[in-house]
Amino acid sequence: MATALIGATLFDGTNLRDGLAVLIEAGKIAGVMPEAKLPKGVEKQAISGLLAPGFIDVQVNGGGGVLFNETRSIAGIAAIGAAHRRFGTTGFLPTFITDTQASMAEAIKAADAAMQARTPGVLGIHLEGPFLNPERKGIHRADLMRSIGDDDVAMIDLPAGGRVLVTLAPEKTEPSAIARLTKSGVIVAAGHTKADVATIRRAQAAGLTGITHLFNAMPPLMGREPGPVGAALEDKALWCGLIVDLHHVSAVSLRVALAARGPERMMLVTDAMPSVGSDAARFELLGEHIKLVDGALVNDAGTLAGSNLDMASGVRNTVRHLGVPVEDALRMASLNPATFLRLEQELGRIAPGYRADLVLLDADFHVKATWISGARQDEVK
């Protein structure tokens, strides 16, 4: 049966609009129209607030007390997705960080199984490593990092109907390997890297399209050595993930990046860990003790270990602390990542034919409700 959401201000992916109803049928947007023009017999659901396309997070390590590296299963992915739905995320890539090849194979199989089971919100998988530069390891284990081999390329297959994002260090990866990945449909981004601009550009020519968590796990922009940051800020074709928790990157640096690039190919990501959506203030990460200190997740040495950020807070921080217009911040959380994942014809807009993945926000960008494929999601207790 068709239903219509009425009464909210609507952000359709481009503009803020008032006085419109959103008609949902069979999990998709069937129409956007004045309430008076709704078909007869439609069930109306009155809502209030700001209705926007659901958030899409391409970097989610965990949530709800679950870490994907440790719980490589449909149940683990489902628990992570349920935790993040409370904060407006209706689409996500469970992210598997540097680990053994056998564990990575299990993670890929789990993501494929989750896609086949239609686990709410899952869009594929993000493999952040192990093809990284140990000199820019961050919290990753350097002893598990390695160059990509033919068997890895063969193993990195697309989940059923889903997307695969691979973060790698271009200086540690031959362009031919990047080309093989991208030719098979894999999306490739640079991260945990100290590549110079020329190396980034060669990787782009081979198919690389993104930069994972800009500024983090890479050298700073220098006058004679612009590195990955300079490569990203110069070329507006690259998609850049931004962790706007104000711990990973200062507000000043984020504002500079947005001034240089604009918001068009900037994406909000969380890099979230199990603490998001749970009461857990401590957890284990590949043998490291991680604790929450003043809003940041760190190991015993003080190294950042992912984030305690959710997407709604990321949007709020982007508007409040970076001075980004609401429309741009919402696009950075929805349509931009959808386009990066080549899902812009299905997700990121409230328009006829699009999947009815939605988030309802209050004036302070707190989540009041979410919908995935038109089904309203119950809040996770």
Q: Residue 380 pLDDT > 60, yes or no?
A: no
The token pair at 117 is: 């089971």
Work out the average pLDDT over 78-93: 98
> Reading across the β-sheet that carries 50-53, which strands appear in turn?
16-17, 9-11, 50-53, 358-361, 367-372, 375-377
Q: Residue 381 pLDDT > 50, yes or no?
A: no
**Residues 6+ positions from 345 with CB-CB distance below 8 Å:** none
Q: Residue 378 pLDDT > 90, yes or no?
A: no
Work out the average pLDDT over 163-175: 98
Best CATH choice for the domain 54-340 from the list 3.30.365.10, 3.40.50.20, 3.20.20.140, 3.40.800.10: 3.20.20.140
Q: Residue 343 pLDDT > 80, yes or no?
A: yes
The Cα–Cα gap between 285 and 272 comes to 13
Q: Where are the domains of the chain?
A: 3-52+351-377, 54-340
The token pair at 210 is: 């993104």
Sign of CA dihedral 345, 350, 355, 361: positive
Beta strands in 287-330 (DSSP E): 288-293, 296-298
CATH top class, domain 3-52+351-377: mainly beta
Angle among Cα 217, 220, 223 to the nearest 5 degrees reads 155
Q: What is the mean pLDDT of the chain?
A: 96
Angle among Cα 168, 171, 174 to the nearest 5 degrees reads 80
Whether the CB-CB separation of 282 and 292 falls below 8 Å is answered with yes
Q: What residues are annotated to the active site?
A: 271
Query: Where residue 379 falls among pLDDT bands split at 50, 70, 90?
Result: very low
Model pTM above 0.95: yes
The Cα–Cα gap between 301 and 323 comes to 33
The three-state (H, E, C) secondary structure of 229-286, written as one string: HHHHHHCCCCEEEEECCCCCCCHHHHHHHHHHHCCCCEEEECCECCCCCCCCCEEEEC
Give percent of the chain above pLDDT 70.
99
